[in-house]
Chains A and B, each alone.
Chain A
Amino acid sequence: MIRRLLTPTLAILLSGLVMTGALAWLVIDRIALLSSGREIVLAIRPVDPRDLFKGDYVRLAFDVSEIDKALLPDDKRQRGERRFGPGATIPLYVVLERQPDESWLPVAVSDTEPTGLPANRIFLKGKTQWHSRRRVLYGIERYYVEEGTGLALENLARTAKLAAIVAVGRDGTTAIKGLVVDGRRVYDEPLL
């Protein structure tokens, strides 16, 4: 049926175009977020495992990864959750407020997208663990490094104060833009 419409050459070319388009879309989406997202700096604490597909990375934990229990939404509202048990996560939005020392701290949590926030506030899209609801993941917990160099970054984190520059999109999506060591911007992720 399809063979009548497409020759094998056209079929291969078309699938190649779709695959290239999908990869390009992933890159463009990230570049858009990194170049136009609002910039915030979050303090980090790393540890080091390895990912099967994506090589070495440093696992990052942020100060904003721990949420005060009082801020969490009512349990009853989370009955619509799709998963349960260890490893399951529940989507939520964390509202951060800029402090006088330029750091950002969580001030509110909601399960719907916050609107009309003042300039000193921003919201991040995250997910909380089912079994430990205070722990929130933002999708920026892995910092990929060249094979075998994770430890150096770990050691640096022990001796110096490490922070991540994070780009935040309008919908609360986050991406790591660079690293700050002892208040100095030392590494900027190139867009390409």
Chain B
Amino acid sequence: MYRSQNRLLDDVARWQASGWVTPDGASAIRSEIAARRTGIGLAGVLATLAAVLLCFGVMSFVAANWQAMPKLARLAVIAVGLWTTLGGAIWLDRRGLPYFANAALLAASGIFGAGIMLIAQMYHMDGHPPDAILLWASGTVLMGLLTRSNAVLAAALALFTLWSQMESFGYGLRHGPHWAFLLAWTTVAAGVAMTRWRPGMHLLAITLSIWIIQLAYTGQLHGRAASGHLLVTLIGLTLVGASIGFGPVIDRWRQISGAMLAYGFFIAFVGSLGLQFVADHRGTLTLPLGALTLLAIVGVLAWAWRTDNRSGLWLAYAAFSIEIFSLYVKKIGTMLGTSAFFLVTGLLLAGLAWAAFRLHGKSIQIVEENR
């Protein structure tokens, strides 16, 4: 964030020197940038890391299972630790140090989790471990919703994701999708919507993308059926289509159409990889599927370029590289067939590049003629 702000300050200085921006205008822009700088700083980051270390300290204490201490004393350590941390959070919040208060809340969530593990250990409970994670996540999300703490909401989302992964793949495989995760995800999303925390929206998008991609791997066929990958691809394409078709409408509600394109594209591309290389392991449809995928990647690349969508652009570049490498490794029929495929698509793309160059040249010419 700081890098982009510093670059903007450099640009402002350059624009002022070129006479495009008045000195008054430049100082107004500088003060606006200075006001935008949030107070999180290094201290907030270090406090959050300290909270994580404290949590691990408490969990290791639990793991040591110190028998010299009676059960009641061990429970008291957890209770006193929890309430001292919460008291600290209140004190820090009242002193106007919200980032330190957030770190204390994060530590309290960790101590709550350690408490659950401690009780399980003290009474030799060996039930269904994801249940313990679910209880931990539920307490954490409640705390995040009540206190509107972004750090705690993020921790709750991480715990819910761990729970869902354990439920889906840790104890055998499920017959169907883990729907309960969507309920948990919506709860965290409600919290993030209240705090309007943009990084939180990305965390939500990443975890939901993972859940959607895993739809192809649930069920008896475990990723071997084309239908699962097709579903994932279609969900991704729907998001891409919605972003392209209704971008301005979506952006009027929330500025998310750009991110929607990037995540949708990522989901669709992973789905298409599954279709091409997992479901179609015999390679009967490699040529049409590969050609379609490359066409779609180039389409998204062009759109991301037009709309100045950097993440979309980089994802499309990465997808392009992964796709051609995968096709090269898998081969289209024979090595000669693969060579012909790359030559033909290469020539087509060169033609497109030439057309784009001509169009770009023409648009510059029109702008200059209009001056």
Contacts and interface: CB of A to CB of B under 8 A. Distances in A.
Contact of B146 (A11, A81, A137, A141): A11
Nearest to A15: B143
A157 to B, nearest CB: 16
B182 to A, nearest CB: 17
A146 B124 contact: no
A139 B135 CA distance: 18
A55 B63 contact: yes
A9 B120 CA distance: 30
B82 A12 contact: no
A14 B175 contact: no
Contact of B112 (A19, A27, A85, A130): A19
Nearest to A5: B146
Overall SS of chain A's interface: mixed
Contacts of B120: 26, 54
A186 interface: no
Contacts of B172: 83-89, 130
Interface residues of B, number: 53
A140 B65 contact: no
B79 interface: yes
Contacts of B37: none
Interface string A42-61: 00000000010111110000
B72 interface: yes
Interface in A145-174: 145-147, 149
B80 to A, nearest CB: 11
A142 B128 CA distance: 12
B64 A16 contact: no
B116 A26 contact: yes
Interface in A105-152: 130, 137, 139-147, 149
Given A11-B146, A147-B65, A30 B139 contact: no
B62 A55 contact: yes
A48 to B, nearest CB: 14
Interface stretch (B16-24, B83-91, B363-371): B83-91
Given A54-B117, A84-B172, A192-B70, A9 B94 contact: yes
A71 interface: no
B86 A141 contact: no
A12 to B, nearest CB: 5
B115 interface: yes
Most chain B beta-carbon contacts within 10 A, residue among A16, A22, A192: A16
Given A8-B93, A22-B139, A84-B175, A53 B117 contact: yes
Given A54-B117, A87-B171, A146-B67, 8 more contacts: A12-B143, A15-B147, A22-B139, A54-B63, A55-B62, A82-B174, A85-B222, A175-B124
Interface of B: 59, 62-67, 70-72, 75, 78-79, 82-83, 86, 89-90, 93-94, 101, 105, 108, 112, 115-117, 119-127, 135, 139, 142-143, 145-148, 170-175, 194, 220, 222
Interface of A: 1-3, 6, 8-9, 11-16, 18-20, 22-23, 26-27, 30, 34, 51, 53-57, 81-89, 130, 137, 139-147, 149, 175-176, 189-192
